[in-house]
């Protein structure tokens, strides 16, 4: 587990400690321009590859070294071209990486204990490394951003593929939906407000523990299991929540605030710069039975009109759906993992099990009867009708059914060739030195090396 957590964030344990475990003396193994590459850089990269489940080969060290040298060329050119990576971009990327590890470890405190330093110290130590990686990415983007492919190029690319290399595409499906969420009335909101007012009173006046009340009463089920605990940083939460956080003193409990999710009370535990730890209780307004009955009757009418062909699907979406995201797009449900309109069975099972259970009996154009539906991301309940828009059985990729996929592959191939052309030009103009232990590597490109004797 320790290696897994280490690898999720780039080099969060120093190279010296890793090398000490393996009894290897660190040394310079290459130089590109003014930048040196250490043996520890290769070892760190190798650990990440191994952790990803890739089998170590005799050529791995050489391949990893060349990838690092490529990155150094991109970073050097980015600096020459005055490409700017803002502190906000670095902070955002840093936070994303830290959040992954934090989720694995359970809390920011455990993360800090593991690395023996504060989150701010971790950020400071690896800021330059993250910035260089972002510079390299931005440089590659600037080289390839205007590259696209014509239909003829797509066809040429596909026709040139070796038959055995053409992938099989697993079965995929695409769906549309009409969702009607019951209306939340003023009375519903007042009930939720009264509930959280009573909870706050029990904590502030009656001395009940915030953590206990969060576990029992909070509608934010993720944090409720932790006694309402949230570890975050600026930009993670909605504006009303964050503005309250930064006004509170340590151990102070907020007044009731309202966000798009409902009513909250917050207790600040600690704050260091933009990072904070707080406790939080949420009460969501719940619709009443009358509102649910109204939505159910409305969707029953919609279903009858569709079955009797008295209304088209697109017209029904406009007339009956109040789910804003899909209403603007013919009711099409996009896969949040891929951004595509098609879904694999695995993604369906994880995100929307209700549709997953219906797929075997549905044919293209079929619709479900109205069913109670819970949006797992918004944690909202509504009434939904689902329509199977298309079914794509497992098949070998072809231009008719998978043009978008093949086009993306052809475009990526063209971009990679453009990057390789650029790299060859830059290598010819750069000072490159490679240690004698690596100078005989079978590199993909000719580095014109100066052997280090």
- Round to whole Å and give the CA distance between 14 and 128: 14
What is the per-residue pLDDT across 114-128, written as a single tens digit (0 to 9) for each? 778 787 787 787 788
> Hunting for tokens 């009894």 — which residue is that?
23
Q: What is residue 167's predicted lDDT score, i.e. its pLDDT?
A: 86
pLDDT of residue 53: 63
Reported as a single tens digit per residue, the pLDDT across 60-110 is 889 999 999 999 999 989 998 999 988 888 887 887 777 777 766 777 777
pLDDT surpasses 70 at 19: no
- Convert the pLDDT of each residue in 25-74 to its tens digit: 688 999 998 888 999 888 877 776 675 567 777 788 899 999 999 999 99
Sheet order of strands, 432-435 included: 35-38, 28-32, 432-435, 450-452
pLDDT digits (tens, 9 = 90+) for 343-372: 888 888 888 888 888 877 889 999 999 999
User: Which pLDDT belongs to residue 48?
Assistant: 63
The pLDDT value given to residue 4: 37
Percent with pLDDT over 90 in the chain: 50
The tokens of 147 are what?
Answer: 């590259």
pLDDT at 139: 95
Work out the angle at residue 395's Cα, subtended by the Cα atoms of residues 390 and 400, and round it to the nearest 5 degrees.
65
Nearest one of 181, 182, 385 to 290, comparing CA atoms = 182
CA–CA distance, 332 with 184 (Å, rounded to integer): 25
Least confident of 95-109, 231-245, 326-340: 95-109
Residue 199 has pLDDT above 90, yes or no: yes
- Please compute the mean of the pLDDT values over residues 362-383 and round it to a whole number: 87
Distance CA 349, CA 367 (A): 19
All domains in the chain, ordered by first residue: 2-147+423-452 (1.10.4030.10), 172-183+288-396 (3.10.50.40), 186-283 (3.10.50.40)
Contact 103, 270 (CB under 8 A): no
Residue 221, class by beta-carbon neighbours within 10 Å (0-12 exposed, 13-18 middle, 19+ buried)? exposed
What is the model's pLDDT at position 195? 96
Average pLDDT over residues 328-334: 91
Q: Is 227 left (phi over 0), alpha (psi -120 to 50) or beta?
A: left
Determine the pLDDT at residue 439: 87
- The string of pLDDT tens digits covering residues 384-443 is 999 999 988 888 999 988 888 899 899 999 999 999 999 999 998 888 999 988 988 999
| Confidence label for 13 from pLDDT (cuts 50, 70 and 90) | very low
> Mean pLDDT, the chain, as a whole number?
86
């Amino acid at each position: 587990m320790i290696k897994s957590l280490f690898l999720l964030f780039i080099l969060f344990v120093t190279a010296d400690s890793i090398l000490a475990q393996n009894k290897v003396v660190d040394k310079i193994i290459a130089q590109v321009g003014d930048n040196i590459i250490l043996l520890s850089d290769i070892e760190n990269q190798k650990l990440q590859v191994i952790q990803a489940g890739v089998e170590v080969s005799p050529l791995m060290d050489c391949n990893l070294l060349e990838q690092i040298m490529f990155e150094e060329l991109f970073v050097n050119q980015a600096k020459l071209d005055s490409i700017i990576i803002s502190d906000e971009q670095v902070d955002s990327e840093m936070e994303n990486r830290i959040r992954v590890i934090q989720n694995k470890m359970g809390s920011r405190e455990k993360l800090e204990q593991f690395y023996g330093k504060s989150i701010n110290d971790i950020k400071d130590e690896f800021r330059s490394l993250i910035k260089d990686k972002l510079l390299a990415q931005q440089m590659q983007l600037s080289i390839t951003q205007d590259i696209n492919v014509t239909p003829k190029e797509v066809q040429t690319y596909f026709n040139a593929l070796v038959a055995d290399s053409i992938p099989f595409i697993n079965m995929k499906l695409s769906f549309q939906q009409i969702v009607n969420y019951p209306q939340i009335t003023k009375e519903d909101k007042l009930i939720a407000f009264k509930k959280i007012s009573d909870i706050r009173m029990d904590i502030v006046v009656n001395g009940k523990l915030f953590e206990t009340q969060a576990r029992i009463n909070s509608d934010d089920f993720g944090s409720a299991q932790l006694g309402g605990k949230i570890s975050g940083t600026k930009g993670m939460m909605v504006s009303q929540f964050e503005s309250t956080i930064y006004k509170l003193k340590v151990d102070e409990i907020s007044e009731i605030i309202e966000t798009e999710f409902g009513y909250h009370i917050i207790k600040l535990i600690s704050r260091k710069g933009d990072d904070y730890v707080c406790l939080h209780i949420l009460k969501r307004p719940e619709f009443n039975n009358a509102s649910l009955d109204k939505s159910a009757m409305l969707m029953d009418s919609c279903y009858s009109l569709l079955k009797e062909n008295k209304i088209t699907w697109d017209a029904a979406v406009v007339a009956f759906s109040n789910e804003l995201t899909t209403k603007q797009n013919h009711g099409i449900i996009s896969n949040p993992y891929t951004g595509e309109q098609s879904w694999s069975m695995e993604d369906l099972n994880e995100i929307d099990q209700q549709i997953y259970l219906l797929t075997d009996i549905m044919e293209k154009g079929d619709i479900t009867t109205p069913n109670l539906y819970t949006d797992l991301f918004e944690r909202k309940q509504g009434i939904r009708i689902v329509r199977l828009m298309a079914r794509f059985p497992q098949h070998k990729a072809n231009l008719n059914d998978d043009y978008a996929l093949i086009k993306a592959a052809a475009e990526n191939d063209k971009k990679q060739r453009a990057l390789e052309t650029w790299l060859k030009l830059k290598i010819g103009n750069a000072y490159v030195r490679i240690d004698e232990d690596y100078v005989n590597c079978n590199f993909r490109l000719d580095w014109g090396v100066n052997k280090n004797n």
